[in-house]
Amino acid sequence: MDETEVFWNRQIGIFKTSYINTIIILLNLICFAINFVFGDSLIERFEQRSDYVLAGVQYYRLITSMFLHADLEHLFNNMLILFFVGANVEHDIGHFPYLILYFLSGLGGNLTSVAYDFLHMEFIPSIGASGAVFGIIGAVIIIVIHGRKNLKKGSNLLIRLALMVMLSVYSGFTAANVDNAAHIGGLLCGVIITFLITIISKKEYTMEEWL
């Protein structure tokens, strides 16, 4: 059995046991299907609205907006990253810590968006799991840095990770209708939360699943 086959066999095992990640993806798909059937009523009721949050009402929008997407491309891009990257992060840090990471990163991203809107006095509704997804990317940064000693000699994983982060941030700033504040906030939350999880739980990362 060659290294490629070993890698994919390991990945399949990880996909099968990443329960929290799978549930999150299914919830996003279900919400998208419901919104598709009933029009935009779900989005209007549950989208992130900084003006409402600052007015002290409907705080639930900070969470519910994380499960809504504008169109199929928006949904596909976020779920694709979750499927491949999120599963590995859950495998590394554990099911419950992953749940905490996901929701706090999404919440942190939305709160950063609220702060940005307040500073600029522009209150534009937003939706999407991007803040939480960027939190997952932030988690990978800590996992790779902490476990880099276990990388195979000659591995370019650190370079690929740096390029992925830069490209993700850059694409957000060059695209229209993107909540970049939520992306940056989610990324920073992911880095901080995973760092704390790693230190408190004394996590060790083999890096086998990232090679």
Assess whether 95 carries a catalytic annotation. no
How many angstroms separate the CA atoms of 87 and 82, rounded?
7
Q: Is 62 exposed, middle or buried (0-12, 13-18, 19+ CB in 10 A)?
A: buried
Q: How many CA atoms lie within 13 Å of 122's alpha carbon, on the beta-carbon side? A: 7
Q: Which of 130, 155, 171, 201 is catalytic?
A: 130
How many angstroms separate the CA atoms of 179 and 186, rounded?
11
Query: 184 and 135 in contact (C-beta within 8 Å)?
Result: no
Q: 79 to each of 12, 26, 72, 198, 200, how far by Cα in Å?
A: 17, 9, 10, 25, 29
Assess whether 130 carries a catalytic annotation. yes
CA angle 123, 126, 132 (to 5 degrees): 125
Q: In the chain, helix, strand, coil percent, each to 5?
A: 80, 0, 20
Q: Which of 74, 91, 146, 183 is catalytic?
A: 183
Q: Report which of 125, 133, 130 is spatially closest to residue 180, judged by C-alpha positions.
A: 130
Q: Which residues are catalytic?
A: 130, 183
